[in-house]
Amino acid sequence: MTPPRQQRALRASAAATLATFVALLSHVSAGGAPPSLLGVLLPWALSLPLTLIVVGHRLSIARLGAGVASAQLIFHAMFALGVVPSVGSATVAVDAAGDRGLQALHAAHMSLPASFSSPASPVAALPDAAMLGAHLLAAVVTTLLLHRAECLMAALGGLAQRIALRLRAVARDIVPPVRTPLRIRLAAAVRRRHPRPLIAAPSRRGPPRLLVL
Do 103 and 94 contact (CB within 8 A), yes or no? yes
Check residue 47 and give its pLDDT.
76
Q: Which residues are CB-contacts of 90 (< 8 A; sequence separation ≥ 6)?
A: 111
Q: What is the mean pLDDT of residues 107-129?
A: 44
Above 80 in pLDDT, residue 118? no
Check residue 13 and give its pLDDT.
79
H or E element: which one contains 130? helix 129-174
Do 19 and 142 contact (CB within 8 A), yes or no? yes
Give 213 or 107, the one with higher predicted confidence: 213
Do 85 and 112 contact (CB within 8 A), yes or no? yes
| CA 69 to the chain's CA centroid | 20
Q: Which residues are CB-contacts of 142 (< 8 A; sequence separation ≥ 6)?
A: 15, 18, 19, 22, 68, 72
How do the domains of the chain map onto residue ranges? 4-90+105-168
Give the residue among 4, 19, 2 at the shortest CA–CA distance from 58: 4
The CA-CA-CA angle for residues 84, 44, 105, to 5°, reads 35
Report the range out of 80-84, 186-190, 206-210 with the highest average pLDDT: 206-210
Give 49 or 186, the one with higher predicted confidence: 49
Q: Are strands 93-96 and 110-111 parallel, antiparallel or unpaired?
A: unpaired
* Rounded Cα distance, 48 and 145, in Å: 18
* Rounded Cα distance, 139 and 141, in Å: 6
Which pTM value belongs to this model? 0.44
* Rounded Cα distance, 82 and 125, in Å: 9
Above 60 in pLDDT, residue 156? yes
- Among the listed ranges 52-61, 76-85, 103-112, 184-193, which one has the minimum average pLDDT value? 103-112
DSSP label at residue 100: E
